[in-house]
Structures are given as structure tokens and as C-alpha cells.
């Protein structure tokens, strides 16, 4: 089937194109053509976006849950519900993210995601793989990770977890200063898995050793990591200044001050910032009491916190993160979109076929207005949601 998507402002990684329409052939982007060259009669379907922005679908590589469900539930229903909510916010693909828990619960969640991907990942927002956030973390920087399950890396356990994941594990977060971390990082790199420095109290030297061995990402920048000092820059100084590292950011105005976000963009550039939600099950729901990793989380005025006051994930959606990057930090819209689509695709090695509007890539596209309200979603050439 050939579909024409017309009357939009097309956001590419390089510019916003006006006066062009997009051609979709089956599940791929076939062409971008000037409006004056269009013959609508040769298309099976014509979609009028009525002047809205058209961009690649967002990719949320760090997301625990939303709308009352969590990836740790270990059920198809949870993943399906999460995917349905993602679609409403322009997320066409995501990594189901685990958190520090018992080995038994972690295995159940991993096996469920792997099974879902291979058996049921047909329509809606695609589960693109797994992000293992924990349990190999620092107690000092545990944040909302349950302390009773935090431990040093174990290669045999890692091998078992990856085997249960059946090639679906894309990212593993780890504190590089821990015992056995060196061996774990080297092992994960050999498996082609993205290694992220997370929940870490590493000093600058320890962090740089981790980067030399294979760390290429930082888990929710500034949060869950040693702070910066002019005499001991710490892990923060390492990840912000090393060009090999991409930095996740929770751009909700709660986890990070806008000045700190602005500093990160200036240091890393548009290609090395990855917008994430780090959302938990309260995203999309009203204030109240929820759960994260078996712990009570209290949500009030968009903030999710443990009883201790520690932030426990977020209630952010990725379209709102893009909006905030434009209006709080001042980056251009096409750069903010890149941070939520192409950059995360690069981080997990799928940018050759997803993450941007370019000829030959999957037709994962969304339309939104100036407020980033999403009104149209297409995944791999199929219209999943349309409010046009």
C-alpha cells in the first residue's frame, strides 16, 4: 500500500521541511516529494495532517511503567497497557525497564518481555527490548532502588539474565566502582550491550576506567550519581566531558534544574543527550499512592517520592520532555525531537532503520501541534491512532 502524508511541517534530523509531503510504501518511508509534484490519484490512501508537525516517533529507552502498570509485573497485560499509553504520547517504541529486585522477580520480568517481543509485539508501541536498571549499584547512591537487593556484579548471574532475555537486553546500568565491575563491563561489551553508568558513587578516576572499558551512557544524568567538585569531578565530570558517553536526561523540571540541563546540552551537544521519561506506574494517573519495586510511592503535583522523600521515577511523558527542552532549555524543536528519537535509537543500535524521518527507514511517524499534543501515530506503516 502506498500512502501520502500531506500538509505538514516535516522534522528531520537536520531541519524542518515545509512544502513537502511524505510517501509511505507498506512499512517504510519511501520518499519526500515537493507538494507541487504530487499526483494524489496514484496513492491508495491520503492523510491530511492539517499543518501539524510531522516527526519520527519517540523512543523511550528508560521507562518502568505508566497508567497503573509496571514492567516488573511480568505480564503481557502490563506491557500492552503501557504500550497503549505510550501511543497517546507519541512513543512508538520503548525499552521495558526493570529495577533492583530479587533475582526471581527480575527473571520473571525478563522472561515476560522476551516472550512478549517474540510472540505478541504486533501492534501499538513496540517493545524494543529490555533495560536492566540494577541490581549492581552503590548503596550510597541507591535513590529509589530497594537497598536489600543491591549487590556487586556477578558474571554468572549476568550470563543467566542475558540468556533468559533471548537477545532482548539492550542496556545494563552498573556502578563502575564496584567489585567485579571491571569484568562485568568487559563481558557486557563483548555481548554488544550498551553499558550505562548508574546509581554510582564513582570518583573521576573510577568513572574514566569504566568508560575506557566500555561504558557509553549515563543513567538519568545528575540523579543517582556523585556530584561535581572542582577538586574531584566525580562520575558527573567524567560523563559530561567524555565524548564517548551519551547522557540520559529526565527533562521534567523536577529532577534537574533548567540551568543544569542547559549546561549538559552545551557540554554534550545535540547528539549526546537522550531524553527519557524514567516514568513509573503513576504516569497518566492522578495523585495518590503507588508502587515501585515493592516500595510505596506517593505522587503529589507530578512528583513521585518514597516516604523518605527520595524521588522515585517520574510521571513524565516523552512528548512533554520534548516540549520542556524547547521551552525551558531553549533548544530548537528539531534538536529536541532528535534527543527523543534518533539519539535513543543510536544508543541501542537501531538507528539504521528507526529514529528519524529518512528514506528507507521504518514508517514510525507522529503528528503534533505547538504544545506537543499528539494527534496522529503510525507504526511501521499502520495508523495506530488518529484524532485528525
| 243 belongs to an annotated ligand binding site | no
Is 69 assigned a ligand-binding role in the annotation?
A: no
311 is in an annotated binding site: yes
Q: Which residues pair with 94 in a beta bridge?
A: 60, 127
Q: Tell me: is residue 133 an annotated ligand-binding position.
A: yes
DSSP element (H, E) containing 148: none
Is 223 assigned to a binding site? yes
Q: Is residue 220 annotated as involved in ligand binding?
A: yes
The answer to whether the bond into 135 is cis (omega within 30° of 0) is yes
Beta-ladder partners of 173? 133, 196
CA angle, 70 then 74 then 77, to 5°: 70
H helices of the chain, in order, are 76-88, 103-119, 155-165, 181-190, 204-213, 234-241, 258-268, 318-324, 333-340, 342-347
- Please tell me whether 230 is known to bind a ligand: no
Number of Cβ within 10 Å of residue 230's Cβ equals: 6
Smallest CA-to-CA distance from 165 within 135, 133, 130, 195 is with 130
What is the per-residue DSSP string for 244-259?
Answer: T-EEEEE-SSSSS-HH
**Is 288 a known ligand-binding residue?**
no
Which residue among 252, 278, 351, 362 is the active-site one?
278
278 belongs to the catalytic site = yes
173 is in an annotated binding site: no
The residues annotated with a catalytic role in the active site are 278
Please give the annotated binding residues, written as ranges. 133, 144, 199, 220, 223-224, 231, 255, 311-313
- For the annotated binding site for Zn(2+), the residues are 133, 199, 220
**Binding site listing for substrate:** 144, 223-224, 231, 255, 311-313
Amino acid at each position: 500500500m502506498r500512502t501520502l502524508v500531506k500538509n505538514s511541517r516535516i522534522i528531520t534530523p537536520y531541519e524542518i521541511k515545509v512544502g513537502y509531503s511524505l510517501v509511505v510504501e507498506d512499512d517504510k518511508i519511501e520518499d519526500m516529494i515537493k507538494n507541487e509534484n504530487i499526483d494524489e490519484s496514484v496513492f491508495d490512501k491520503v492523510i491530511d495532517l492539517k499543518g501539524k508537525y510531522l516527526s519520527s516517533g519517540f523512543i523511550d529507552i528508560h521507562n518502568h511503567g505508566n497508567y497503573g502498570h509496571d514492567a516488573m509485573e511480568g505480564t503481557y497485560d502490563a506491557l500492552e497497557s503501557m504500550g497503549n499509553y505510550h501511543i497517546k504520547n507519541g512513543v512508538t517504541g520503548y525499552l521495558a525497564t526493570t529495577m533492583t529486585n530479587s533475582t526471581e522477580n527480575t527473571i520473571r520480568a525478563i522472561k515476560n518481555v522476551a516472550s512478549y517481543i517474540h510472540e505478541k509485539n504486533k501492534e501499538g508501541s513496540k517493545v524494543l527490548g529490555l533495560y536492566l536498571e540494577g541490581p549492581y549499584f552503590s548503596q550510597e547512591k541507591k535513590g529509589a532502588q530497594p537497598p536489600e537487593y543491591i549487590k556487586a556484579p556477578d558474571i554468572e548471574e549476568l550470563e543467566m539474565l542475558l540468556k533468559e532475555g533471548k537477545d532482548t537486553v539492550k542496556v545494563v546500568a552498573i556502578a563502575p566502582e564496584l567489585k567485579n565491575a571491571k569484568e562485568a563491563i568487559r563481558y557486557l561489551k563483548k555481548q554488544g550491550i550498551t553499558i550505562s553508568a548508574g546509581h554510582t558513587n564513582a570518583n573521576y578516576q573510577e568513572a574514566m576506567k569504566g568508560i575506557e572499558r566500555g561504558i557509553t551512557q549515563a543513567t538519568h544524568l545528575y540523579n543517582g550519581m556523585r556530584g561535581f567538585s572542582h577538586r574531584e569531578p566525580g562520575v558527573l565530570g567524567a560523563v559530561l566531558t567524555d565524548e564517548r558517553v551519551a547522557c540520559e536526561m529526565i527533562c521534567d523540571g523536577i529532577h534537574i534544574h533548567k540551568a543544569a540541563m542547559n549546561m549538559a546540552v552545551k557540554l554534550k551537544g545535540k547528539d549526546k543527550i537522550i531524553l527519557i521519561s524514567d516514568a513509573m506506574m503513576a504516569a497518566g494517573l492522578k495523585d495518590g499512592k503507588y508502587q515501585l519495586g515493592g516500595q510505596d510511592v506517593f505522587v503529589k503535583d507530578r512528583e513521585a517520592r518514597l516516604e523518605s522523600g527520595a524521588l522515585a521515577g517520574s510521571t513524565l511523558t516523552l512528548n512533554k520532555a520534548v516540549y520542556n527542552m524547547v521551552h525551558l532549555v531553549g533548544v530548537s524543536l528539531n534538536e529536541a525531537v532528535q534527543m527523543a528519537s534518533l539519539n535513543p535509537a543510536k544508543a541501542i543500535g537501531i538507528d539504521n532503520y528507526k529514529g528519524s524521518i529518512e528514506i528507507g527507514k521504518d514508517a514510525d511517524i507522529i503528528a503534533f501541534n505547538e504544545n506537543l499534543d499528539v494527534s496522529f501515530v503510525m507504526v511501521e506503516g499502520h495508523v495506530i491512532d488518529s484524532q485528525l
